[in-house]
């Protein structure tokens, strides 16, 4: 029986099957399998048992082709399983992330416990910003807080754009525009930072602390942003007093921001301190206010009264926030709506609108004063 020694070699690009026979030699041929891109070289014409060597080669080719197909099928199944696992994992994560439920105050971790008069409807910790921002569209204890300042911020952005579009650049000076800009930037910063805080406060202890610092900084920025234009128009003819009061305001602003950076400042037990710091800073306007009232020109009384109204709204809001009225008298009844923080937010936005009217009123009166000044002709 004629021995046939066969070597089969696979290569990655074009698998080549080479055969050698110790007896057979001679003519060879090369066949190419189109489907598998396999090149087959044959070096013998026949074997001893009468079977043509070409058919042996073809048998190997079939075996090679089958093996390759099997491997391809295996890879395909593996790929399919991997993709299916990824899709299933993604679906489970999405399901879990969207499946949170509001919880009772007692179920919250310590760092999320703030107002024990709100019993139900609290968000649990949501350690993902995506989840936090999606929670804006769900009902819980923070929904009202988020939207009252979120819509307030949007309103002030629109008012700022409107004021800039309708600003009379021929009649009014660059400083007039700057004063408006300072005021709007302060209000928008405060309302935006507050919205971010109320949205992300449930993310984690660290994020909550960082966002609460942003929130307090925003309050300080709004107070100084309100003071600068009011004092500018209030002491329009007395630049020394204007600069003196502004300097005091900026120093108080920096002090309140530094205190806000203290890690424990946001803890519930320091609520009275928080209220105290911002009330002292806000009420520091009383001194220039009294001064202004003494030297006040009668036609500015309207704006003066608006500033008093604005101050009263802030004080009422801060007082309600500090002593938690009305939920103190209706525990568990203001979990979603009419809680003190929401009322405080609405009063802050209202006060900001009142203040804007006061500034605009004074700016218009100062402009008319300038226009009414007699022109002195030089002989
Ligand atoms: Zn708030």
Query: What is the token pair recorded at 133?
Result: 């921002």
> What's the 15 CA to ligand 1 centre distance in angstroms?
71
Q: Residues 90, 232: one domain?
A: no
Residues 226 and 318 in one domain: yes
Find the 304 Cα to ligand 1 centroid distance in Å: 27
Residue 172 class from Cβ within 10 Å (0-12 exposed, 13-18 middle, 19+ buried)?
A: middle
Q: Among residues 63, 95, 127, which one ends one of the domains?
A: 95
As for how many domains the chain has, the answer is 2
Helices (H), the chain: 53-98, 129-134, 143-165, 174-200, 205-234, 239-260, 271-283, 286-295, 301-323, 340-372
Residues making up the binding site for Zn(2+): 198, 341, 345
Do 190 and 301 belong together in one domain? yes
Q: Is residue 343 part of a domain?
A: yes
Ligand 1 centre distance from Cα of residue 225 (Å): 18
pLDDT confidence of residue 280: 83
Q: Domain boundary residue among 36, 65, 95?
A: 95
- Regarding whether 199 and 76 lie in a shared domain, the answer is no
**Short-list 111, 6, 119, CA closest to 59:** 6
54/178 same-domain check: no
Q: What is the pLDDT of residues 102-120, one digit of tens each?
A: 999 999 999 999 999 999 9
Q: Do residues 338 and 275 share a domain? A: yes
Last residue in a domain, options 62, 95, 128: 95
- State the distance from the centre of ligand 1 to the C-alpha of 198, rounded, in angstroms: 7
DSSP conformational letter for 123? P
> From the CB of residue 117, how many other CB atoms can be counted at a distance below 10 Å?
19
Domain membership of residue 4 (yes or no) is no
> With a threshold of 0.85, does the pTM exceed it?
no
* Residue set of the binding site: 198, 341, 345
Query: How many angstroms does the Cα of residue 13 sit away from the middle of ligand 1?
Result: 66
Q: Which domain holds residue 41?
A: 16-95
Q: How far apart are CA 195 and CA 149, in angstroms?
A: 6
The count of other CB atoms within 10 Å of the CB of residue 227 is: 27
| CA atoms lying within 13 Å on the CB side of residue 76 | 6
Let me know whether 85 and 145 are in one domain.
no
Torsion over CA: 342, 348, 354, 360 (sign): negative
- Residue 17's pLDDT is 38
* Positive/negative CA dihedral, 28, 29, 35, 36: positive
Quick check: is 378 in a domain?
no
pLDDT < 50 regions, the chain: 1-49, 93, 96, 375-379
**CATH classification of the domain holding 205:** 1.20.1070
Which CB contacts under 8 angstroms, 24+ apart, belong to 27-33?
A: 29/54, 31/57, 31/61, 33/61, 33/65
Q: Are residues 30 and 166 in the same domain?
A: no
For residue 260, tell me if it sits in a domain.
Answer: yes
Q: Say what angle helices 205-234 and 271-283 make with each other, to 10 degrees.
A: 20
Encoding tokens for residue 19? Answer: 């055969």
Q: Please name every residue paired with 33 in a beta bridge, in sequence order, or none if there are none.
A: 38
Exposed e or buried b per residue across 309-346, where buried means at least 16 C-beta atoms within 10 angstroms of its C-beta: bbbebbeebbebbbebbebeeeeeebbbeebbbbbbbb
User: How remote is the CA of residue 149 from the centroid of ligand 1, in Å?
Assistant: 8
């Amino acid at each position: 029986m004629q021995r046939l020694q066969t070597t089969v070699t696979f290569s990655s690009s074009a698998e080549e099957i080479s055969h050698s026979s110790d007896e057979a030699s001679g003519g060879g041929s090369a066949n190419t399998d189109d489907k598998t891109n396999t090149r087959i070289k044959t070096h013998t014409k026949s074997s001893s048992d009468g079977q043509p060597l070409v058919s042996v080669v073809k048998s190997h080719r079939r075996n090679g082709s089958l093996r390759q197909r099997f491997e391809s099928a295996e890879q395909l199944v593996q790929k399919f399983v991997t993709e299916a696992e990824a899709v299933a994992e993604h679906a489970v994560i999405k399901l879990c992330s969207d499946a949170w439920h509001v919880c009772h105050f007692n179920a919250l971790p310590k760092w999320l416990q703030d107002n024990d008069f709100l019993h139900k409807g609290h968000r649990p910790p949501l350690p993902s910003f995506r989840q936090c921002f999606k929670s804006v569209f769900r009902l819980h204890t923070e929904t009202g807080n988020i939207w009252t300042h979120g819509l307030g911020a949007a309103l002030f952005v629109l008012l700022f754009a409107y004021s800039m579009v309708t600003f009379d650049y021929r009649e009014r000076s660059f400083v007039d525009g700057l004063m408006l800009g300072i005021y709007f930037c302060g209000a928008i910063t405060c309302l935006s930072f507050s919205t971010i805080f109320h949205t992300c406060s449930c993310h984690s202890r660290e994020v909550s602390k960082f966002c609460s610092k942003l929130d307090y900084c925003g309050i300080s920025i709004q107070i100084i942003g309100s003071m600068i234009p009011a004092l500018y128009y209030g002491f329009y003819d007395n630049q020394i007093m204007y600069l003196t009061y502004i300097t005091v305001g900026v120093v108080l602003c920096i002090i309140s921001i530094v205190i806000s950076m203290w890690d424990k400042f946001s803890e519930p037990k320091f609520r009275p301190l928080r209220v105290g710091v911002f009330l002292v800073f806000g009420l520091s306007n009383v001194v220039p206010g009294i001064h202004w009232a003494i030297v006040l020109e009668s036609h500015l009384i309207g704006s003066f009264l608006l500033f008093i109204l604005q101050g009263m709204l802030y004080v009422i809001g801060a007082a309600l926030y500090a002593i938690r009225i009305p939920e103190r008298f209706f525990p568990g009844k203001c979990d979603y709506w009419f809680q003190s923080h929401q009322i405080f937010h609405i009063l802050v936005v209202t006060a900001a609108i009142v203040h804007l009217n006061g500034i605009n009123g004074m700016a218009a009166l100062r402009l008319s004063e300038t226009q009414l000044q007699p022109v002195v002709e030089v002989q």
